[in-house]
């Protein structure tokens, strides 16, 4: 084999040997194409669970993986249309909080046993990102992980116009950021409105709405808007009779009317 050819063959390998970089407080993600057998429900932990085992300067951490479908969006007469982009995958995400080298093993447990799906290594670089927001030491004000003050200015965005999907968030968040907003609350729960209802029913997540949520989070990050996710709504407790809520059965055991929620009988 002559030298020129050897270089052509070797260079992709060399690239693979250089560990990818993820900023501290940034997002590390890895995915593998999922093969489900028979009627396996990817959302039922009794049937199949994926986990990422991370080991590095943060210590050893286990993070649950998730089932994911990517989509391409298109605007059809003002309505969003999603078309699947590639096959469903198992993915896992991690946000390092210290710089240094991390090792990752992605495992799957199903009725046949536990198997390694993938191993990987990456470097967490100190890019001076502000990090996650939490209560400051006075328990009153918000601060970023890097101790800078966060003062939220924004609104309860809830949902967008019917059928607009992520295009509606482009519009709302674009205007919010242009007017100095840095905060939005999202509703993720209520089929009755056109919000991002990520859980269709108990044991079934909505792959299109979880993709939309990803889009909206990335959009918010780009526009420096921070999100408060509302994962439950009093409406679901007040409309137990329509059976729309994923936890309908157990809620019914305890709550007979909306006022039970507020008057402390449960
Ligand atoms: C369990 O996962 C392994 C690795 O992906 C796969 O080869 C096997 O077919 C799976 N078994 C079942 C019952 O899904
Ligand atoms: C989840 O709900 C969707 C839409 O109703 C349906 O197409 C899909 O088969 C369901 N998946 C499971 C695992 O129940
Ligand atoms: C952390 O994980 C690594 C790699 O899996 C292992 O060698 C080490 O013993 C673990 N450390 C602790 C404290 O569990
Ligand atoms: C924390 O991050 C914010 C936003 O990126 C930045 O303005 C600020 O200077 C950082 N503070 C420190 C102490 O690094
Ligand atoms: C989850 O899977 C187990 C085993 O197949 C089954 O008994 C259970 O009913 C499933 N749960 C849901 C919520 O589908």
Contacts 24+ apart (CB under 8 A), 64-68: 64/92, 65/90, 65/91, 65/92, 65/106, 65/108, 66/90, 66/91, 66/92, 66/210, 67/34, 67/42, 67/43, 67/205, 67/207, 68/31, 68/207, 68/210, 68/211
Ligand 4: atom nearest CA of 131 is 2
Residue 140 banded pLDDT, cuts 50, 70, 90: very high
pLDDT tens, residue by residue, 41-57: 999 999 999 999 999 99
How much is the pLDDT for 13? 44
Summarize pLDDT for 6-48 with one digit per residue, the tens: 333 444 444 444 568 999 999 999 999 998 888 899 999 999 9
Handedness of CA 223, 64, 70, 73 (dihedral sign): negative
Helix (H) or strand (E) holding 20: strand 20-23
Where, residue-wise, is CATH 2.60.40.10 in the chain?
6-125
Q: Is the separation of the CB atoms in 80 and 16 below 8 Å?
A: no
Nearest to 114 by CA among 58, 59, 68, 62: 62
Q: Which of 56-65, 175-184, 224-233 has the lowest mean pLDDT?
A: 224-233
Whole-number pLDDT of residue 232: 74
Answer with the residue of higher pLDDT: 256 or 20. 20
CA geometry: angle 83, 106, 47, nearest 5 deg: 70
Kindly indicate the confidence band of residue 110, based on its pLDDT and cuts at 50, 70 and 90: very high
- Per the CB < 8 A criterion, the answer to whether 132 and 25 are in contact is yes
Q: Which ligand is nearest to the CA of 58?
A: 3
Which of 23, 24, 146, 151, when mutated, tests ligand 4's pocket best, judged by the most ligand atoms within 8 Å of its CB?
Answer: 146
Q: Which ligand is nearest to the CA of 130?
A: 4
What would the pLDDT profile of 67-106 be if each residue is shown by its tens digit? 999 999 999 998 999 999 999 999 999 999 999 999 999 9
Record the tokens describing residue 95, joined without a space.
Answer: 């946000």
Q: Length of the chain in residues, anyone?
A: 266
CB contact at 8 A, 184 and 169: no
**Mutate which of 48, 199, 203, 248 for ligand 5 pocket (most atoms within 8 A of beta carbon):** 203
Q: Which of 31, 32, 35, 67 to mutate to test the pocket of ligand 1 (most atoms within 8 A of CB)?
A: 35
Give the span between the Cα atoms of 168 and 126, in whole angstroms.
Answer: 35
| Domain 6-125 fold | Immunoglobulin-like (2.60.40)
pLDDT band at 258 (very low <50, low <70, confident <90, very high): low
Round the average pLDDT of the chain to a whole number and report it. Answer: 85
Pairing of strands 71-76, 79-84: antiparallel
How is residue 80 annotated by DSSP? E
Q: Strand, coil or helix: what is 233?
A: coil
Residue 203 tokens, joined:
């044991």
Confidence (pLDDT) at 262? 64
Taking Cα atoms as reference points, which of 216, 142, 232 lies closest to residue 184? 216
Of the bound ligands, which one is closest to the alpha carbon of residue 32?
A: 1
Ligand 2 atom closest to Cα of residue 200:
2
**35 Cα nearest atom in ligand 1:** 5
Q: Is the CB of 126 under 6 A from ligand 4?
A: no
- DSSP-derived secondary structure letter, 242: G
Helix, strand, coil share of the chain (percent; to 5): 25, 35, 40
* pLDDT tens-digit map of 174-197: 999 999 999 999 988 766 566 788
Ligand 2 center to residue 45 CA distance, Å? Answer: 16
């Amino acid at each position: 084999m002559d030298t020129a050819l050897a270089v052509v063959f070797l260079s992709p390998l060399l690239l693979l040997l250089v560990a990818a970089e993820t900023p501290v407080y940034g997002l590390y993600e890895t995915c593998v194409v999922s093969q489900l057998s028979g009627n396996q429900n990817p959302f039922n932990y009794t049937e199949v669970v994926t986990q990422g085992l991370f080991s590095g300067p943060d210590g050893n951490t286990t993070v649950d993986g998730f089932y994911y479908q990517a989509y391409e969006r298109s605007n059809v007469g003002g309505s969003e249309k999603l078309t699947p982009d590639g096959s469903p995958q198992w993915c896992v995400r991690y946000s390092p909080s210290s710089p240094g080298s991390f090792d990752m093993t992605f495992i799957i447990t199903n009725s046949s046993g536990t198997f390694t799906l993938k191993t990987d290594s990456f470097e967490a670089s100190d890019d001076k990102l502000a990090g996650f927001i939490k209560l400051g030491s006075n328990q009153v004000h918000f601060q970023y992980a890097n101790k800078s003050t966060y003062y939220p200015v924004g609104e309860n965005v809830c949902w967008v116009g019917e059928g607009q999907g992520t295009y509606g968030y482009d519009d709302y968040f674009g205007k919010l950021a242009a007017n100095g907003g840095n905060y939005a609350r999202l509703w993720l729960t209520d089929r009755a409105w056109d919000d991002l209802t990520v859980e269709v029913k108990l044991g079934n997540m909505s792959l299109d709405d979880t993709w939309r949520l990803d889009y909206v989070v990335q959009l918010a990050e780009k526009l420096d808007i921070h999100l408060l996710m509302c994962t439950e709504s009093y409406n679901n407790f007040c409309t137990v009779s329509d059976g729309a809520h994923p936890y309908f059965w157990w809620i019914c055991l305890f709550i007979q009317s909306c006022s039970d929620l507020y008057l402390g009988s449960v």
